[in-house]
């Protein structure tokens, strides 16, 4: 009986060591994402200045490095990615949010699943991005957009609501075709409807006041005269 438990002891310690190594890497991931988030707060109060985006993007190299370390640890325990998944899941949701949001601020497009993996330097054969983690990251982007639109209109970008409304309604429609059996993901997706509604209300406010570029600046002036 004792010999057997000595083996268990060794295996539980090996697994404990894996968890310890993951914990340290994920703590570093947490630091980097907090800095990126702080950098990205600036986009709410300025036009989308290339400097802000550049600064936020400068951390991506560090993210790549940390995911490389995660992959290295997991390579050492073949077939056990999902055994340890809980360790990096939350951080990865945030990382996807940051990467996809940044790209959207720059290009107005949705960074695809494959592009997101590329950006993080992930090799799906070794350590891929869980699809649900990607989708939760997209829900996080959605929940950031209402505040972004409100602040952009405040600083005078009246065309922003239309762009965001289009992007978000497309994203919402795409999600609707999924059969979400994962309760957490389904709940996060339910929130997207309210994000979209809020963005549409801002678009409405701008439209009804004819503040956007398709409205007649002249009429607005007349009204004000």
List of residues contacting a copy of itself (CB under 8 A): 1-2, 4-6, 8-9, 11-13, 16, 19, 30-31, 34-35, 37-38, 41, 44-45, 78-83, 85, 110, 112-113, 131, 135, 147, 150-151, 153-154, 169-181, 197, 200-209, 211, 219-225
Give the whole-angstrom CA distance, residue 49 versus residue 208: 28
Helices 131-154 + 81-107 axis angle, to 10: 30
Residue 120 or 202: the one with the smaller Cβ distance to a copy of itself is 202
Residue 105 or 150: the one with the smaller Cβ distance to a copy of itself is 150
In the complex, the smallest distance separating the C-beta of residue 84 from a copy of itself, rounded to whole angstroms, is: 8
Give the whole-angstrom CA distance, residue 105 versus residue 109: 8
In the complex, the smallest distance separating the C-beta of residue 33 from a copy of itself, rounded to whole angstroms, is: 10
Contact indicator for 96, 45 with CB cutoff of 8 Å: no
Length of the chain: 225
In the complex, the smallest distance separating the C-beta of residue 155 from a copy of itself, rounded to whole angstroms, is: 8
91 Cβ contact list (under 8 Å, min separation 6): 26, 29, 30, 33
Task: Give the DSSP letter string of 66-125.
Answer: HHHHHHHHHHTSTT-HHHHHHHHHHHHHHHHHHHHHHHHHHHSSPPPHHHHHHHTT--HH
Contact indicator for 22, 87 with CB cutoff of 8 Å: yes
In the complex, the smallest distance separating the C-beta of residue 66 from a copy of itself, rounded to whole angstroms, is: 15
In the complex, the smallest distance separating the C-beta of residue 96 from a copy of itself, rounded to whole angstroms, is: 14
Residue 65 or 178: the one with the smaller Cβ distance to a copy of itself is 178
Q: How far is CA 90 from CA 56, 82, 85, 114, in A?
A: 20, 14, 9, 20
In the complex, the smallest distance separating the C-beta of residue 21 from a copy of itself, rounded to whole angstroms, is: 14
Residue 65 or 220: the one with the smaller Cβ distance to a copy of itself is 220
**Secondary structure class of 177 (helix, strand, coil):** coil
Residue 38 or 72: the one with the smaller Cβ distance to a copy of itself is 38
Residue 8 or 107: the one with the smaller Cβ distance to a copy of itself is 8
């Amino acid at each position: 009986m004792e010999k057997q438990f000595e083996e268990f002891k060794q295996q539980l310690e090996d697994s404990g060591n894996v968890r310890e190594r993951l914990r340290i890497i994920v703590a570093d991931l947490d630091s980097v994402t907090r800095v990126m988030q702080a950098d990205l707060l600036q986009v709410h109060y300025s036009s989308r200045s290339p400097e802000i985006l550049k600064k936020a993007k400068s951390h991506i190299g560090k993210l790549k490095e940390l995911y490389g370390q995660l992959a290295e640890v997991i390579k050492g325990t073949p077939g056990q990615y999902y055994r340890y998944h809980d360790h990096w899941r939350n951080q990865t949701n945030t990382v996807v949010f940051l990467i996809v949001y940044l790209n959207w601020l720059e290009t107005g497009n949705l960074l695809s699943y494959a592009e997101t993996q590329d950006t993080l330097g992930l090799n799906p054969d070794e350590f891929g991005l869980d699809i649900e983690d990607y989708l939760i990251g997209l829900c996080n982007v959605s929940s950031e957009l209402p505040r972004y639109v409100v602040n952009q209109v405040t600083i005078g970008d009246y065309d922003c609501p239309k762009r965001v409304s289009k992007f978000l309604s497309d994203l919402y429609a795409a999600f609707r075709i999924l059969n979400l059996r994962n309760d957490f993901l389904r709940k996060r997706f339910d929130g997207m409807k309210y994000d979209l509604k809020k963005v549409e209300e801002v678009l409405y406010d701008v439209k009804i006041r004819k503040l956007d570029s398709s409205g007649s600046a002249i009429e607005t002036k007349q009204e004000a005269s």
